[in-house]
Structure 1
Amino acid sequence: MKYNHAKMLLFRFISYVNELMERMVKVVNRILKDIKPLEVFKYFEELSRIPRGSGNERGVSNYLVSFAEQHNLEVIQDPALNVIIKKKATSGYENRPSVIIQGHMDMVCEKNVDTQHDFTKDPLQLKIIDDMIYATGTTLGADNGIAVAMGMAILASKEIQHPALELLVTTEEETGMAGAEALNPNNIDGRILINIDSEEEGTLLVSCAGGITAKTTIPAVWEEPDKDLVTCVIRIRGLKGGHSGMEINKGRGNSNKLMGRILAILSDSVDFTLGEITGGSKHNAIPREADAVILVKSEDKVKVSEKITELEQILKDELRTPDPDLRVNFEVLSEGTSRVLSRKSTESVINYLYLVQDGISSMSMDIPGLVESSINLGVVTTEEDRIEFISAIRSSVNSLKRDIFTRVETIAKLVGATVSKESDYPEWAYNPDSKIRNTFVEVFEKINGHKPEITAIHAGLECGLLGEKFDGKMDMISFGPNLYDVHTPDEHMSISSVQRMWDYLVEVLKNIK
């Protein structure tokens, strides 16, 4: 008994020391500890330590539940891992309408090719450059970690005046809004929603595009390659990429479409077959890289190399402004491949890549400069029995969204492929009688001396789905601090903008009536 008791005490002591050391390491390694607003960046940094790619949110969801319990707040964690945290109104605000602060807990996981980072277990490595916060070689997760951090800071505060609050943090927003789709509206009390998933200070979003994720599948018929053929690889690198909604209007190159163009032109002068093709990793990010393994006759190696060099220069000239660092590399591999796609499968892949629509489809006639409809071929993968192509279709007009999907289906039929819908979410329609918009405008003008910009966004916000969930009776607005190059390893966030938008949010909560 004495031995077991001593062993238990030793175990507790070791656990205590380990916990203490872990806390010390966290304190020592805090990069954002002296940046204001202190509480916002404290929680943002804590979130950055938790892997939270779409579909891997259990850890961050449990973290939010623990936060609520530590602050004695009511919390709901639903089967989709959405978290709803409720806080009562402060004194004098009991009779004001309750407010929902909303964001999503997942992030897009993109990294540079030479970055060693495991998004399933490694914390983000934050760094500060002047007024900006970056992650080292990866996406930052400010989209949408900053919304969660702001919401947590308000819930933790004992000084901020506010009506009854609900922090709604959803899952899998970046891959089709599955969390918002699964949300039980009976768990929500408020009918005023402040979404903090916008990326430009001084701009209030009052409408957004709906979307469809289209997956095209071409059957893979494999053959044994001719032993005399040489295995080569074409690589596209150096593109900027970006958010497939927010930055679709910047004319940036899509590596998958460029690869389709290269292969189509190459097929006119050289006989080759495909061994494998891959490009991009997220349907909602403009793809930056693509690889195609091809098999050619030995005597055609030089010809292919020269053609690739020629095409690289053509593409560099065309994309010299939006993508000045574009590179197209050709390399003969030392090892061959055990299989190649049949000639028919090769032709089907190339024809689909070349023909499928990509980029802006139509511009809004109501809001100058706003993209109305678009499509982004975000991902190409070679699987055991198929080649898959995943496109993100967006439009603020439902009929045009359907029309683009029908075009994808039509092209797929021409090459012997099939198409399925992986997600389909509604647009968020403009509300001419929005009271929360009026409050945001009045407070902004009071702080800044001029009115904010009121606009729509060519991207999918959860406001569309949430509006539908509540039969159009949710009064919504979206705002946020300045974020740049989201969905890319260059993603960064303005520190000073976070401070201004935090002050703005606090003042808005005081003025909601």
Structure 2
Amino acid sequence: MKRVLQDLKPQSVFKYFEEISQIPRGSGNEKEISNYLKKFGEDLGLETIQDEYLNIIIRKPATKGYENAPCVMIQGHMDMVCEKNKDTDHDFTKDPLKLRVEDGMIYATGTTLGADNGIAVAMGMAILSDNSIEHPEIEFLVTVDEEAGMSGAMNLDGSQLKAKYILNLDSEEEGYILVSCAGGATAKSTLPIEYTNISGDKVGLAIDIKGLLGGHSGMDIIKQRGNSNKLLGRLLNLLSIDYDLAKVSGGSKNNAIPRESECIIAVNKNSVDEVKKQISDIEKIFKNELKTSDPGLVIEVSEAHVEKVFTPEFKDKVIKMYNLMPNGVQTMSMDIEGLVESSTNLGVVVNSDNDILFESAVRSSVSTLKDDILNRMDLLTQSLKGDFKVESSYPAWEYAKGSKLEEICIEAYEKLTGKKPTIMALHAGLECGLLLSKMNGAEAISFGPDMFDVHTPNEHLDVKSTENTWDYLLTILKSIH
């Protein structure tokens, strides 16, 4: 059976990328892909370590002439964000991705592609399996759970690592060398639900906000795209007719700008037409505001079954939480033009039987600003008699200006392309900060091929850019003596 990516170059990279695309690897579901990578390393006869958290380390000795060069880490993460369109029949716990190639781009039909960060895994595997490539000693590190909180990197035993240079392949723009990134945390606000019975003369209506582009909560936050959770909160606050609230939910990952949110309300039977009119008017407001960033926004209303609703007091708490929770860009850097300094994304709202969880991804390259955002969230949650906690806090990766590795990578890029790369910082979470905190004296840079609409079902990877990045990676390795 012919593989979809069989004719693409570099063949070895796309061979492995297609192989791992057949293996479910959502965050928290990495056992199968970790075991696959462990077997891969062992089958090559290389030193292979699988720790208790399922992180993988594979080492390959230096090739001839590079025995005295410093050890180089090729680093990425094995997990992916699992997002799909509502009408897509796909089970991320067992189904392979359906890859396709269009106009020089690779997509997964109806789902995220997982090029973030499967392409790093594929490149590392291609280097380990090819004995014709010149390189120093290679330490291939593939972590788990990067997308959901970086617990793999957090729990990694730094004493097992020996590399001097870290080449992180978790970036998404060719021609850029990343030298710094934001730190972050997951913030969780929980409100215990208070219910009451629905009166007999009321009917249920489901309100669905959809059609938004979404995106990466770090990389794309500056694009001012609509956040379906925040829009739902505004809608509930703007409705002027009397209604009861029965259920709310939206988004699936805190690090993805939510594209779809929904709620169920109960209204008097005689008020249904007026409610639909008000929602239509609100839709026009949102469409006007988002006409450039999210032209596909739609709000749909349908009948729904309702047995119980929130008390009026709890309904008020929910609306306040939606509307007052910090979201979006909070501050811009005064040192690096165009760089978001701090932000937050209300990515997930989960309505369980007993409580409602509001989950946000908070990012900042300045630790005190991250603390300020978290403190404001805590104050809001306390004022609403809820519970607040912070999870998966990780440090920023601070810029080590003029490092030897940066110099090597700049020279390699100029040698390969005849152009200077762009040195930049990133408002997204990379594992470099965590790894450097465990590896005394190590240096790191990050780069990668062009990817678009990451963390959305429209995620796609540029084939030619992947080939260029592969050539660049090999040039860097050859330049380290």
Q: Does 1:445 align with 2:414?
A: yes
Query: In the TM superposition, what is the alpha-carbon distance from 1:212 to its structure 2 partner?
Result: 1.1
Deviation, structure 1 residue 418: 1.7
Which residue in 2 is equivalent to 1:465?
434
Match of 1:159 in 2: 132
Aligned 8 A contact 2:78 2:118 in 1: yes
Q: Determine which of 390, 397, 404 is the counterpart of 2:359.
A: 390
For residue 252 of structure 1, the aligned residue among 225, 232, 241 is 225
**Which residue, 78, 94, 101 being the options, matches 2:51?**
78
Amino acid in structure 2 at the alignment position of 1:438: E
Which runs of at least 4 in structure 1 moved beyond 4 Å after TM superposition?
none
Match of 1:339 in 2: 308
The CA deviation at 1:433 is: 3.7
TM-superposed deviation, 1:172: 0.2
Cross-structure match for 1:25: none
Q: Tell me the residue number matched to 1:479.
A: 447
Paired amino acid for 2:253: K
Q: Distance in 1 between matches of 2:308 and 2:140?
A: 52
% identity of equivalent residues: 53
Partner letter of residue 51 of structure 1?
P
Could you tell me how far apart the structure 1 residues matched to 2:143 and 2:253 are?
Answer: 19
Q: Give the AA of the match of 1:127.
A: R
Equivalent residue, structure 1, for 2:371: 402
Instruction: Name the Cα RMSD after superposition.
Output: 0.8
Q: TM-score, normalization: structure 2?
A: 0.99
Structure number, greater radius of gyration: 1
The Cα of 1:414 is off from its aligned counterpart by: 2.1
Q: Is the 8 A contact 2:106 2:461 kept in 1?
A: yes
Counterpart contact for 2:416–2:475, Cα < 8 Å? no
CA distance in 2 between partners of 1:306 and 1:340 (Å)? 23
Distance 1:434 1:120 in 2: 42
Confirm or deny that 1:211 pairs with 2:184. yes
Q: CA deviation at 1:289?
A: 0.3
C-alpha deviation, 1:29, in angstroms: 4.3
Q: Which amino acid aligns with 1:148?
A: V
Query: What is the letter of the counterpart of residue 343 of structure 2?
Result: S
The equivalent of 1:512 in structure 2 is 480
> Deviation of residue 338 (structure 1)?
2.0
* Structure 1: segments with no counterpart, 5+ residues: 1-27
C-alpha displacement at 1:432, in angstroms? Answer: 1.6
1:286 paired residue number: 257
**What aligned pairs does 1:82-481 form with structure 2 within 5 A after superposition?**
82-266=55-239, 269-333=240-304, 336-471=305-440, 473-481=441-449
Q: What is the alpha-carbon distance in structure 1 between the residues aligned to residue 312 and residue 437 of structure 2? A: 47
Give TM-score, length-normalised by structure 1: 0.93
Unaligned runs of 5+ in 2: none
Q: Deviations over 1:264-290 (max 9, x none)?
A: 011xx2111111101000000000000
Distance in 2 of aligned mates of 1:487 and 1:423: 19
Q: How much does 1:339 deviate?
A: 1.7
What are the superposed Cα offsets for residues 67-88 of structure 1, whole Å, 9 maximum, x if unpaired? 1111111100000000000000
* TM-aligned CA deviation for residue 448 of structure 1: 1.3
Give the SS at the match of 2:107: strand
Aligned residues: 481
Structure 2 CA distance, aligned partners of 1:376 and 1:490? 20
| Separation in structure 1 between the aligned mates of residue 386 and residue 235 of structure 2, nearest angstrom | 21
Equivalent AA in structure 1 for residue 452 of structure 2: Y
Give the C-alpha shift of residue 332 in structure 1.
2.6
- 1:436-485 Cα offsets, whole Å, 9 max, x none, are 111110010111111100000000000111111224x2200000000000
Post-superposition shift, 1:231? 0.3
Residue 49 of structure 1: how far off its partner (Å): 0.2
Which residue does the alignment assign to 2:470?
Answer: 502
